[in-house]
Every structure is written in structure tokens, then in C-alpha cells.
Amino acid sequence: MPALKPDVAFLVVQRADKAGNSHIWGSTGLTQEASIAANKIIVLADEIVEPEVIASDPSRVLIPGFGVDAVCHVPAACHPAPLIGKWKRDNHFFHDYHKETRDPADFDRWCDEWVRDLPDHEAYRAKLGGQLEDLRILGDIPSAPANYATE
């Protein structure tokens, strides 16, 4: 069986600079593999930062900017999945999805409501309302800094 070669990979990351250099931490799933396999990469960043922020921690760069075709600032693009340090998993949404999509007709109705009938991500976020803000991670538990000194 031949390897998958997707046209586009949409990759959700915690932060990226405008050139597409992207930091991701926690569970990365198949993010790096998808970035290698795809013909084009679109980064959906929860936060856009200055290049110096990315350069300050080079080992978190799983997606280098030279391979990125577009960078978009899309807070909560991961929903309903979690994004470590940014968003919790929306267990209720997953539960409702599983309950409401048990047959093809129900799945089609769900896609109309949550995908096709919404013009953009902002409409999706508005439809979720305060439920989305309840999933925002407010705590701050930074990891220990690494020493990248050369002298």
C-alpha cells in the first residue's frame, strides 16, 4: 500500500511566528509526520509571537517555517480536542457528537449544524458561546528553562 500524501495538512500549534516557525508541546499526535507527508502546510496557531520567542526554545520547533505555506491566528482551532497549556478537552461536545452521529443521516445533519452552515471559525466560536471560555486553561505551570549557552 502506498504512503499517504495529503494535499494539505492543517496543523494546530500553541504558538508560531509570522514565518511559520511553530512551537508545539504536550501530545503532538501525528503533527510532525503530517507536516512531512503533506504537499502544503497551513499552521493554525493559538498565538502569534515574535521570532525571538520561537528562537528562545528551538527544541520545541517541530514545524520549521521554511516548509509552511500559511500561518493563521485561530484561537481554539483544536476544539473539541485539548491543546496543552491553552484549552481543555470538551468532553460534552465529544459525547454529544457520538450520540448525534450514529447513522449517516444524523451525521449529515450534524455536519450541517456544526460545519457547513457556519461561515467561519468565529461563527463556530460564537455558537459554542460561554462553553468555550469554560475550556480555556488559565493556570500557568511553565517548564524549567533549558540552557542553550555556548560559552
List all residues 6 or more positions away from 60 whose beta carbon is below 8 Å from its beta carbon. Answer: 23, 24, 25
Bond prior to 80 in cis (omega within 30° of 0): yes
The helix/strand/coil state of 139 is: coil
Residues of the domain holding 121: 87-140
Is residue 121's pLDDT more than 90? yes
- Tell me the per-residue pLDDT of 74-92, one tens digit each, with 9 for 90 and over: 999 999 999 999 999 999 9
- Tell me the per-residue pLDDT of 30-86, one tens digit each, with 9 for 90 and over: 999 999 999 999 999 999 999 999 999 999 999 999 999 999 999 999 999 999 999
- Final residue of a domain: which of 33, 50, 74? 74
How many domains would you assign to the chain?
2
Q: Is residue 94 part of a domain?
A: yes
- Phi-psi group of 68: left, alpha or beta (phi > 0 → left; psi -120 to 50 → alpha; rest → beta): beta
Q: Is 92 found in the same domain as 41?
A: no
- Tell me the per-residue pLDDT of 100-111, one tens digit each, with 9 for 90 and over: 999 999 999 999
Q: Is 99 found in the same domain as 66?
A: no
Q: Is 95 found in the same domain as 69?
A: no
Kindly give the pairing relationship between strand 22-23 and strand 8-16: antiparallel
- Tell me the per-residue pLDDT of 7-24, one tens digit each, with 9 for 90 and over: 999 999 999 999 999 999
Q: Is 98 found in the same domain as 136?
A: yes
Q: Is residue 145 part of a domain?
A: no
Q: Is 120 found in the same domain as 64?
A: no
- Final residue of a domain: which of 30, 53, 74? 74
Q: Is residue 146 part of a domain?
A: no
